C-alpha cells in the first residue's frame, strides 16, 4: 500500500477539498477566538480558544442540568473577557445578575430578552446584528440540526459569538446528546473541591469551586476532559494543583 509522505501534493489537495466542504475557509477568515486561559484546553481547540463567529453549546451535568448554574458561570467567565454588549435570551427570568457580575460579567454589558417560546428566532435576530459581542440563549428541549445550522450560519456571517445553554428538567436527557451544527459542546460538572486551607483540612470554609470540564464534541479537534478551578472575579479559570488532579483521574 502506497503511503504518501505528509508533503505530498495529493494529500494537500485532498485536505483543501475537505476544508472547502467543511467551510473551513469561512472559519479561517474569521478565526478570532477567546482563549480559555488553560493551556491544556486551548491546545486542543483548533483556533486556540472559543472561536468567535460560531455556535457553541454548554450544559451542566447531573441534577444541575435543570438550573445549569455551573454552565452559566462558565459562559459568564468567557463573556467577561470579551468586550461589548451581550444579548442574553431567556425563557424564564431566574438568572441573578449579582452572580454574573461575580464572574466578571458586569450588568452594564448585558441586555436581557425574555423570549418565551421564541428563543431561537430572537437569538438569530441578535446574531444578525453586528453591534453585539455575543448572544447567549437558554434552550430547553430538543434542538434540530436545521435550527442549529441557521444559528451557526448567522454567527459565521456576523462574527458574533453564539452560545446556547442547554437546559433540561431531566438529567441524562437524550435530546442533549443529539448532533447539532454547534462547533463545540461543553459539559460542566461540579466536583468536590479541596478544603479551603490545604494544610489544615478541618478548618471550616469554602475554597474555590472545582469543575470537571468535558469537551464532548469539537469540530476539527479532539474531545477531552479536564479538571479546573471555577471562574474567579474576572472570569478566568484556574489550574488545579497537580496532587488533586491526579487523585481525580485515578478515581
Partner 1 sequence: MRRVVSVWFPTFSTDRLRRLEEERDATGTVQTSASPTSLPNLLNKRDRRGRAPCAGPGEGPGLPEIIVSGRLVTAVNAAAGSLGLRAGMKLAQAQSLVAGLAVHDADPAGDAAALRRLAEWCVRYAPLVADDPPDGLWIDVTGSTHLHGGEERLLHDLLRRLHAQGLAARVAVADTPAVAHAVARFGSGGAVPPNADGMEAAVMADFPIDALRLPSGMLADLRLMGFERVGLLAKAARAPLVRRFGPLLAARLDQAAGRLFEPIMPIVPPASIQARLAFVEPLLTAEAFSTVIGRLVDIVCDGLERDGLGARRLDLLFERVDGTLQAIRIATARPGRDARHLGRMLNERLEQVDPGLGVEAMRLIIAAADPVKLEQVSLVEPAIPDIAPLVDRLANRLGESRIYRIAPLESDVPERSVRQIPAMSPVTGGWPADLPRPVRLLDPPQQVEAMALLPDHPPIAFTWRRVRHRVRHADGPERIAGEWWKRDREWISVRDYFRVEDEDGRRFWLFRRGNGSDADTGDMRWFLHGFF
Q: What are the residues binding partner 1 (CB under 8 A)? A: 62-64, 67-70, 72-73, 76, 84-85, 87, 94-103, 106-108, 110-116, 118, 122, 125-126, 129-132, 189-193, 195-196, 204-207, 209-210, 233
131: which 3 cell numbers?
453591534
Q: Which is nearer to partner 1, 1 or 251 (CB)?
A: 251
Q: Which is nearer to partner 1, 46 or 235 (CB)?
A: 235
- State which residue, 1 or 250, has the beta carbon closest to partner 1: 250
Taking residue 45's Cβ as centre, other Cβ atoms within 10 Å add up to 21
Residue 147 grid coordinates:
435550527
What does the block give as the cell for 118? 421564541
Closest distance of CB 162 from partner 1, Å: 15
Measured from the CB of residue 237, what is the shortest distance to partner 1 in angstroms? 15
| DSSP state, residue 127 | H
Angle between helix 145-158 and 119-127 (nearest 10)? 20
Q: Is 211 exposed, middle or buried (0-12, 13-18, 19+ CB in 10 A)?
A: buried
CB of 193 to partner 1, least distance (A): 6
In this structure, what are the phi and psi dihedrals at residue 188, rounded to the nearest 5 degrees?
-110, 120
- 3-class SS of residue 227: strand
CA distance 208 to 8: 50
Residue closer to partner 1, measured from CB, 48 or 171: 171
Nearer Cβ to partner 1 (193/216): 193
* Beta-bridge partner residues of 187: 59, 214
CB of 147 to partner 1, least distance (A): 18
Instruction: Work out how close the CB of 24 gets to partner 1 at its nearest, in angstroms, rounded to a whole number.
Output: 28
Pick the closest to residue 138 from 191, 107, 86, 95 (CA basis).
95
**Rounded least distance, CB 220 to partner 1, Å:** 29
Nearer to partner 1, 24 or 95 (CB): 95
Q: Are 55 and 162 in contact (CB under 8 A)?
A: yes
Q: Give the nearest distance from C-beta 82 to partner 1 in angstroms.
A: 13
Q: What are 91's three cell numbers?
A: 425563557
Closer residue to partner 1 in complex, CB, 124/173: 124
Amino acid at each position: 500500500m502506497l503511503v504518501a509522505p505528509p508533503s505530498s501534493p495529493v494529500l494537500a489537495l485532498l485536505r483543501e477539498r475537505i476544508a472547502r466542504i467543511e467551510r473551513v475557509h469561512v472559519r479561517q477568515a474569521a478565526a478570532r477566538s477567546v482563549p480559555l486561559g488553560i493551556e491544556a484546553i486551548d491546545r486542543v481547540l483548533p483556533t486556540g480558544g472559543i472561536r468567535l463567529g460560531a455556535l457553541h453549546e454548554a450544559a451542566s451535568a447531573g441534577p444541575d442540568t435543570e438550573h445549569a448554574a455551573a454552565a452559566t458561570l462558565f459562559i459568564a467567565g468567557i463573556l467577561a473577557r470579551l468586550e461589548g454588549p451581550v444579548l442574553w435570551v431567556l425563557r424564564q427570568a431566574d438568572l441573578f445578575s449579582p452572580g454574573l457580575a461575580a464572574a466578571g460579567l458586569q450588568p452594564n454589558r448585558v441586555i436581557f430578552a425574555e423570549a418565551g417560546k421564541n428563543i431561537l428566532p430572537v437569538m438569530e435576530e441578535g446574531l444578525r446584528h453586528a453591534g453585539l459581542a455575543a448572544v447567549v440563549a437558554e434552550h430547553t428541549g430538543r434542538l434540530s440540526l436545521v435550527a442549529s445550522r441557521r444559528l451557526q450560519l448567522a454567527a459565521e456571517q456576523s462574527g458574533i459569538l453564539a452560545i446556547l445553554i442547554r437546559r433540561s428538567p431531566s438529567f441524562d436527557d437524550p435530546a442533549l446528546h443529539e448532533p447539532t451544527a454547534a462547533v463545540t459542546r461543553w459539559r460542566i460538572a461540579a466536583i468536590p473541591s479541596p478544603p479551603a486551607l490545604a494544610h489544615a483540612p478541618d478548618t471550616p470554609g469554602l475554597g474555590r469551586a472545582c469543575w470537571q470540564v468535558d469537551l464532548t464534541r469539537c469540530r476539527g479537534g479532539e474531545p477531552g476532559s479536564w479538571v479546573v478551578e471555577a471562574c474567579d472575579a474576572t472570569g478566568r479559570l484556574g489550574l488545579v494543583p497537580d496532587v488533586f488532579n491526579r487523585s481525580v483521574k485515578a478515581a
